[in-house]
Amino acid sequence: MAERQLIQQVLMNGRICTLVIEEGRITEIGTADLLPEPGDSVWNANGLLLLPAFRDAHVHLDKAFPTDRWISRKPVSSIFEQFKLEKELLAGCKDRRKELAIQTLEAMLASGTVEARVHVDIDPDLGLSHLELMLQLKEQYASRMAIELVAFPQQGLLRSHSTPYIREALRMGADLVGGVDPAGVDRNVERSLATMFELAAEFDKRIDLHLHDPGHLGVYTIEKMLDYTAEASMQGKVTVSHAYGLGEVDPSVVAELGSRMAAAELDLTTSVPFDTAMPPVPLLAKQGVKISLATDHTGLDAWTPYGNPDILRRGRLLAEKYIWNDDLRMSSVFEWMSRGSLELQAGDAADFILVEALNVPHALATMAQRQLVCKAGVPVAGSLLQENGRRAAWMNIPKGERMADDYND
């Protein structure tokens, strides 16, 4: 029989529980007095709060600048100048790509992210070099983080003549077709989207589009995406990232588009930017659109010096932006940073984070320290984790010093 792992004194679903894990899944959420059986392995969480592990729905691992030297940026006046600048600046740290990607992955894990959708730059100049690296890292990190790879033509799918490279990326194992601004960058909404949907159909892949185009141009692009989604029967397989334009048009337009997006299961990913317009998340969520939060920028890069790998920071920003000061709405943010609901149930994968917090809104408000991050019941990161002996990880983690009674209401 497989070994059972009992985590005692876990604060979850509003009470102190005993969590039972078998073969990577939660098999029971017992009361605080649930006794171990012979052969069970036991660890005492001493009242740490359990949160569902985080999912970062949009991130780049091939854009980070080194942290040990400053790379200066200069102002740019168009997205094309920005593309060019990024290429120049990244070329200077080309040899450190792998090291920097690993640094980012470790920082994401430490903050509780065990699932990530990673956009990978592909163009005729880079070829598939970044994808090769990311496929390698995806495999290397598989037991700690589930990574999906988006074949992303950062310089424009049509504009940079990247279609054959994206096709090859899909053949090599990329999970999604990426794209950027079919109007603003590719200058041909129909052909750009048609190419993306054809590639997706050819390889039976999903789609995730970067859409920075403003106002009604953004709305029009999403309408077209909806048409293509219906035509290709790709409901539930298409995501629009950013969609800044939805923050610049009348709410009635967003409401109508939102209900169409919900019907087509066209998801929206946002990094909660405050340096630009952003989609009205509460309105779209009300219309039934699936929302996912993302870091997009994880540190210093060519787009911003203000990135951060901690997705909880994005969730907090969202709650602050909409002045969600009540417990219910503060807690709701966590559903958009994880795969499931806030309340884990028996049968769920044992992907969770243990944090030092009194309850869920408190964890958001205080950006609670991630003590232990677990994937499939195995600790994979967090300040308590000792790097040695991950196999017997629970045995190697010191127990907390605080008493569970401190956390009772």
Q: How far is the CB of 119 from Zn ion (least distance, A)?
A: 5
Query: Segment 303-342, which members bind Zn ion (CB under 5 A)?
Result: none
Q: CB–CB of 331/316 below 8 Å?
A: no
| Chain centre distance of CA 208 | 13
Residue nearest to Zn ion (CB): 296
User: Which one, 182 or 361, has the nearer CB to Zn ion?
Assistant: 182
Q: How far is the CB of 65 from Zn ion (least distance, A)?
A: 16
- The interface region with Zn ion, picked from 43-51, 217-225, 288-296, 299-307 by CB under 5 A, is 288-296
Backbone angles phi, psi at 378, to 5 degrees: -110, 125
DSSP string, 284-315: HHHTT--EEE--B--SS-SS-S---S-HHHHH
Q: How far is the CB of 210 from Zn ion (least distance, A)?
A: 5
- The interface region with Zn ion, picked from 182-190, 218-226, 296-304, 360-368 by CB under 5 A, is 296-304
Q: How far is the CB of 154 from Zn ion (least distance, A)?
A: 8
What secondary structure, in 3-state letters, does 222-249 show?
HHHHHHHHHHCCCCCCEEEEECHHHHCC
- The interface region with Zn ion, picked from 96-104, 212-220, 294-302, 379-387 by CB under 5 A, is 294-302
User: Which one, 248 or 301, has the nearer CB to Zn ion?
Assistant: 301
User: Which one, 66 or 273, has the nearer CB to Zn ion?
Assistant: 273
User: Which one, 186 or 351, has the nearer CB to Zn ion?
Assistant: 186
Whole-angstrom Cα distance, residue 180 to residue 215?
16
User: Which one, 272 or 381, has the nearer CB to Zn ion?
Assistant: 272
Q: How far is the CB of 122 from Zn ion (least distance, A)?
A: 13
Whole-angstrom Cα distance, residue 359 to residue 304?
33
Q: How far is the CB of 238 from Zn ion (least distance, A)?
A: 16
Q: CB–CB of 42/6 below 8 Å?
A: yes
Q: How far is the CB of 249 from Zn ion (least distance, A)?
A: 22
Q: How far is the CB of 183 from Zn ion (least distance, A)?
A: 17
DSSP annotation of 322: T
Q: How far is the CB of 270 from Zn ion (least distance, A)?
A: 11
User: Which one, 58 or 144, has the nearer CB to Zn ion?
Assistant: 58
What burial class does residue 24 get, using C-beta atoms within 10 Å of its C-beta: 0-12 exposed, 13-18 middle, 19+ buried? middle
User: Which one, 29 or 243, has the nearer CB to Zn ion?
Assistant: 243
- The interface region with Zn ion, picked from 24-32, 155-163, 281-289, 293-301 by CB under 5 A, is 293-301
Residue 231's DSSP bridge partners are none
Q: CB–CB of 61/104 below 8 Å?
A: yes
Q: Pairing state of beta strands 25-31 and 15-22?
A: antiparallel
User: Which one, 208 or 351, has the nearer CB to Zn ion?
Assistant: 208
Q: CB–CB of 111/312 below 8 Å?
A: yes
Q: CB–CB of 176/241 below 8 Å?
A: no
Using CB under 5 A as the binding criterion, the count of chain residues that bind Zn ion stands at: 1
User: Which one, 296 or 356, has the nearer CB to Zn ion?
Assistant: 296
| Chain centre distance of CA 203 | 24
Which of 15, 20, 26 has the alpha carbon at shortest distance from 52? 26
| Chain residues in the site for Zn ion (CB under 5 A) | 296
